[in-house]
Amino acid sequence: MPITQKEGEEDVIEISDLQGGYSDCQVLHGISLKVPEGCITTIIGPNGCGKSTLLKTIARYLPAFSGSICCNGKDIAQYSRKEFARIVSILPQWREAPFITVERLVLYGRFPHLSFARKITERDAEICRQAMMDTGTLNMREKDIRELSGGERQRVYLAMTLAQDSEYLLLDEPTTYLDIAQKYEIMELICRICATGKSIVMTLHDLPLAFAYSDRVAVMEGGRICCCGTPQAVLESGTVDRVFSVESHCVNVAGNMEYVFLPAYSKG
Amino acid sequence: MSTLPKSYIRTQRNRLALLPVLAGLLLLSASAGVLFGSTEINFAEAIKGIFSGELSSSDTRILLYVRLPRVCATLLSGCALALSGVMLQAVLNNPLASPNVIGVNAGAGFFTFLVISLFPAAVTWLPIAAFFGAVAACMIIYGIASRTGASKVTLVLAGIAISSIFTAGINAIKTFFPDTLYNGSSFLIGGFSGVSFKNLFPAYLFILPAATASFFMARQLDVLCLGDETASGLGMNVTAVRMILIILACVLAGAAVSFSGLVSFVGLIVPHICRGIIGTEHKFLLPASCLSGGIFMTVCDLISRVLFAPYEVPVGILLSLVGGPFFICLLLRKRGRRT
């Protein structure tokens, strides 16, 4: 497994030989993965390969059968729920859209930080305001969640995840159901969030987006990680072509390198 | 400068102001419930009788042994069923959930019937029996929910099935032990005639602590409504919170059913109306539903007593007659707004 480490980076989430899944079916068959600090790590793979399951297991939503996940050098099972929620936040793919205002939703991000009295302080409000500013949702804060478009809603949920003020963000398919402009908008936003020093692990369906915006790409197939490294290294290894049955090309478009994936049978 | 936005503070204040209003209405409806009834009583005489220790006059007796326990019962069951409805709707993540829709009422009713027909003397144990019935129904629902992925439609369908099973059980008992419950059919419709402090007291012991505890779960309920994954990501122990809430809801519904029978609809409509008025934040929704449930039940019971006096319409009939159309209006209005 070619892992090229950038200078001065530290691995902060370390997964070793992880087996996991649902009670009646094992999905993850020995995952080992290191997530470096301050980077965007993207997990790609065909449908049903276990990307979301892996993310949910890292988020402690699903239990690990065996193996370990360490976060900042400590096994995640040893954190209390609240402690863990202050370090790692997750943006699930499937969510309820409750009948509440944007502001209210973002305030829920402070839940793991609230004391027993659960009173929202000025500091909590300030952090939420900042999160809404960063995601460009401040102007819609009195709107109802259900009135928003898909892209706006995604930004609002990102704001909630940001308000959680954790070092790590796990994003499960942050671009599903978005149109192309909204997709780019969300990816740019994720990059800006990463630039503030947060580490991001996400799953993506969209290969060009994954390769354009990630520092690290991990390819999953059948519950295993078959390749992991910089986008360039992963592409050169040919794993993507094999796993997705595509042909990848690097094309120069107006001075930028863009990734294009064509069906493998296109040449006949 | 305060960073809490003005709009937030404003809505919080408005909502908070609504609670004393509801509390006032509750007092008003309770006193109306005590003052009026199928027979007119001389209230001054009755009060005088109580204070002088002279309990033989019929006015005093009506006040003390009929009106007061009755109003206490309607308040108690209204509050309990509404609270139970709020919590079940959040736990099952389903706006259609309520103690009677998902079969909790029928379960409680079945166990109550069972105990009362086997051990007619065990009045004190009725709330406990009702509680176990409610828990049994809830566990079946919860089991089905966790197995099938808790789709909203499945839950309601499962509830209907469970409800009909327990109702069949009740009818079976009624057929095989026809003499055990002189008011068997009124138990099925739900009503408060013949309620006394003696059979209210054990229910109070269950409902008061459970209601108090439920107010402490407001924030958890809010977060639970965001969906399991989000709630878990925010550091909440979803399974444990859900269990606690289900138990609280069962205690409330079970204890209420034990003395009021299968009162329908309150647990479904009251939370809905309150949500429309006060919003989905449980810090306000719980107390508002609790108060409104009490008001609604007391007023309906009062109407049922005076409407065709001296005959009494069972309050269950009235609740369904008032509640059903009201709920339909609510649905139509909601639909109109969205399209």
Distance in Å, alpha carbon of B169 to nearest chain A alpha carbon: 34
Phi, then psi, of B201 in degrees rounded to 5: -55, -50
Question: Which pLDDT value is given to residue B258?
Answer: 79
Question: Which pLDDT value is given to residue A19?
Answer: 92
List, for residues A61-116, the tens digit of each pLDDT value: 988 999 999 988 889 999 999 999 999 999 998 777 777 889 889 999 998 888 76
| DSSP at B92 | T
List, for residues B194-215, the tens digit of each pLDDT value: 777 877 887 888 899 999 999 9
Residue of B329, B249, B263 whose CA lies nearest to B298: B263
pLDDT-based confidence at A6, cuts 50/70/90? very low
B4–A59 CB contact, under 8 Å? no
Q: What percent of chain A has pLDDT over 70?
A: 94
B234–A100 CB contact, under 8 Å? no
List, for residues A221-250, the tens digit of each pLDDT value: 989 999 999 998 998 898 999 999 999 888
Q: What percent of chain B has pLDDT over 70?
A: 88
Please give the Cα distance from A154 to B64 (Å, whole number): 60
Please give the Cα distance from B68 to B62 (Å, whole number): 8
Residue of B nearest to A129 (CA): B3
Residue of A nearest to B216 (CA): A117
Mean pLDDT, all residues of chain A: 87
Question: Which pLDDT value is given to residue B1?
Answer: 38
Cβ-nearest to B225 among A96, A103, A141: A96
Task: With beta carbons less than 8 A apart as the criterion, state whether B58 and B99 touch.
Answer: no
Enumerate the H helices of A122-222 as residue ranges.
122-134, 150-163, 180-195, 207-213
Cβ-nearest to A89 among B225, B226, B233: B233
- Asked if B235 reaches chain A (Cβ–Cβ under 8 Å), the answer is yes
Question: Which pLDDT value is given to residue B338?
Answer: 43
Q: Which of A121-130, A143-152, B175-184, B263-272 has the lowest mean pLDDT?
A: B175-184
Cβ-nearest to A103 among B8, B223, B234: B8
A61–B233 CB contact, under 8 Å? yes
Residue of B237, B233, B213, B275 whose CA lies nearest to B89: B275
Q: Which of A25-39, A64-78, A179-193, B242-256 has the lowest mean pLDDT?
A: B242-256
Question: Which pLDDT value is given to residue B158?
Answer: 81
Query: Using a CB-CB distance cutoff of 8 angstroms, which residues of chain A are in contact with residue B241?
Result: none
List, for residues B34-87, the tens digit of each pLDDT value: 888 777 777 777 777 777 777 777 777 777 778 888 899 999 999 999 999 999
> What does the pLDDT average to over A258-268?
76
Please give the Cα distance from A106 to A91 (Å, whole number): 12
Element (H, E) at A69: strand A64-71
Q: Tell whether the model's pLDDT for residue A168 goes beyond 90.
A: yes
> What does the pLDDT average to over B90-96?
78
Query: Using a CB-CB distance cutoff of 8 angstroms, which residues of chain B are in contact with residue A104?
Result: 281
> What residues are paired with A253 via a beta bridge?
A256
Residue of B nearest to A93 (CA): B229
Please give the Cα distance from B77 to B200 (Å, whole number): 10
Question: Which pLDDT value is given to residue B292?
Answer: 93
ipTM of the prediction: 0.86
Query: Using a CB-CB distance cutoff of 8 angstroms, which residues of chain A are in contact with residue B229?
Result: 56, 59, 61, 90, 92, 94-95
A61–B223 CB contact, under 8 Å? no
